[in-house]
Structure 1
């Protein structure tokens, strides 16, 4: 954050103490921003930029390849599971790109216009919700395919899947849209917050906001939490329904390994919300201080929420035989082109 912005925080805070016009919430928000700016070492903050960059590089290496296979093969892109997988990967790639850009700009103390910051935050929320909601629908798709194999095609044809994907994007826009509408109507953002545009700071300010803002925040968290609970419940039902079929007898069987991988990925989706819930409870009840809450928020945003985005294509997408076979064939064709002998002289 710029020195000018820091001076504005100090000046406004002193004016509020003298005139006693603004609320205690705004004064505490100014102090929180000043604490973040003056007492947070730049070196330690820059270290938190490494995980998003590493995950972005890994995601860019694998996600576009899987998307190319899905959208270039007619027989693959007509199947419901691959259409949903492509949508989830697209959301994850968008989230990785936007968050890494946001973290880099925040670390470099680059000020953004208010409109650009709001657009960036809204796009991040839409991408995160889109990936999570699509993952939940993917689990429901697996649930229907296993428990109702004869009716699966009638329940989820490709035409209906396209409508479901459009509905997912609409829902992904509505949930954060309501939250941002509450923020704008209650004027909860104090000056320099959107200029700073640091997501961990905005989370802390949200937790210190008005009752309407807190209610909207916790309702959003609960909706996401319910989707994650739905995912785990579906996997639990699938396990108990199929445990006597013989596919779980060998611990190294494909079903066991796939089940373990999928639950590992979704655990990483689940853990950031759990940590955020505990951290928020401790911070609101003054069990932990501001500095501790800042480092926990940085860990949640820069590590825990980023990690499942890059694990998803490796542990989920590459498990599909058609996709892995298509990727291997593409690599094989590329190698043949690279090592093809030159034509002999006539």
Structure 2
């Protein structure tokens, strides 16, 4: 202002000159917000593309495992179907939670609980399914003569029921604790994004989570390790088919890798909680996106790649269904393009 008066310029002219500068700052702020929204939209698109691809592969595998009577009447394939079903549901729920978080969709505590419940159930189901599958391979290699008596379709369904019962019990305990210990009404609107860590905020929930996760992975890890050792010992025995034993040992080893990836995916929320406030917002979003794709989405498709390509019975049928689906989609797209 003093500079304008020294130059003989009225103050009103200085004010008029200041207005475009303020408008420019607002425009720059809007542009920055728009760029952030565009980056968030790009992250959503790039997260949706691999999720859609892997979801399609999993659905083709699920259809393949129900397409032949041999798959519906064999314990090994029934256990694989159960694992794939749980991982496919996890993938769908994870993508839905990511979209809700990216869109900043807030909901009531009751709606958030209904969204989180299936996530908790399916997350617990996968490790125990891997343990049952490892035991099935152990019995097949170490007790081949008694395999048909021990591993039957009814016992397989019973093992699957036990796995899901453990998952439901874990969820039920959490819901009872939330109802009894958290005094906030379920109809209250949450001011933060819906997630397991934001819904179960009390310290006792984190302690229960840590204890359950440790017990879960120690028990499942011991089962897989003991199964692997038993299969390796049987592979060295002269009375055992070494080819099938070596193949079974590789399968159990892959179960251990899947368990490690499952443990890594369960630690994503813990990692993000530790990084929150220590890095800037943009870096935090990029880390959240990277962890989501690498540790949550990608491991959910490993079962299809492991069993769909290694199994000599599944592989040709799986590839045929996969190609048929792709060709049908291309044909539909071409037909719509021609009609337009």
Q: Shared fold (TM-score greater than 0.5)? A: yes
Contact 2:79 2:129 in 1 (8 A): yes
1:146 counterpart residue number: 141
Which 10-residue stretch deviates more, 257-266 or 217-226? 257-266
1:307 counterpart residue number: 298
Give the superposition deviation at 1:189.
6.6
Instruction: Rate the CA distance shift 1:264–1:193 in 2: closer, same or farther, 3 A.
Output: farther
Contact 1:248 1:256 in 2 (8 A): no
Could you say which structure has the larger radius of gyration?
Answer: 2
For 1:240 and 1:254, the matched residues in 2 are separated by: 10
Q: Which of 94, 102, 108 in structure 2 is aligned with 1:107?
A: 102
Q: Which of 233, 238, 244 in structure 2 is aligned with 1:241?
A: 233
Contact 1:70 1:82 in 2 (8 A): yes
For 2:294 and 2:324, the matched residues in 1 are separated by: 36
Trace 1:268-287 onto structure 2 (pairs within 5 A). Answer: 268-273=261-266, 279=271, 283=274
Give the superposition deviation at 1:46.
6.2
2:72 counterpart residue number: 77
Trace 1:145-164 onto structure 2 (pairs within 5 A). Answer: 145-164=140-159
1:76-105 Cα deviation digits (max 9, x unpaired):
211111001001101111111111011101
1:11 counterpart residue number: none
Trace 1:188-203 onto structure 2 (pairs within 5 A). Answer: 194=190, 196-199=192-195, 202-203=196-197
Q: Which of 277, 286, 292 in structure 2 is aligned with 1:290?
A: 277
Instruction: Rate the CA distance shift 1:124–1:306 in 2: closer, same or farther, 3 A.
Output: same
Instruction: Rate the CA distance shift 1:176–1:186 in 2: closer, same or farther, 3 A.
Output: same
Contact 1:52 1:96 in 2 (8 A): no
Contact 1:55 1:310 in 2 (8 A): no
1:239-285 Cα deviation digits (max 9, x unpaired):
541452599999xx8567646544433331233456777x59x95xx
For 1:293 and 1:239, the matched residues in 2 are separated by: 49
2:318 counterpart residue number: 327
Trace 1:23-62 onto structure 2 (pairs within 5 A). Answer: 49=44, 52-62=47-57
Instruction: Rate the CA distance shift 1:136–1:298 in 2: closer, same or farther, 3 A.
Output: farther
2:19 counterpart residue number: none
2:30 counterpart residue number: none
Q: Which of 165, 169, 175 in structure 2 is aligned with 1:180?
A: 175
For 2:305 and 2:214, the matched residues in 1 are separated by: 28
Give the superposition deviation at 1:195.
5.5
- Secondary structure in 1 aligned to 2:106? coil
Give the superposition deviation at 1:67.
1.3
Instruction: Rate the CA distance shift 1:298–1:62 in 2: closer, same or farther, 3 A.
Output: closer
**TM norm structure 1:** 0.68
CA-atom RMSD, angstroms?
4.1
Contact 1:55 1:306 in 2 (8 A): yes
For 1:256 and 1:51, the matched residues in 2 are separated by: 36
Contact 1:80 1:161 in 2 (8 A): yes
**TM norm structure 2:** 0.69
Instruction: Rate the CA distance shift 1:267–1:218 in 2: closer, same or farther, 3 A.
Output: closer
Instruction: Rate the CA distance shift 1:149–1:128 in 2: closer, same or farther, 3 A.
Output: same
- Secondary structure in 2 aligned to 1:169? helix
1:64 counterpart residue number: 59
Give the superposition deviation at 1:198.
3.8
Instruction: Rate the CA distance shift 1:127–1:166 in 2: closer, same or farther, 3 A.
Output: same
Give the superposition deviation at 1:56.
1.9
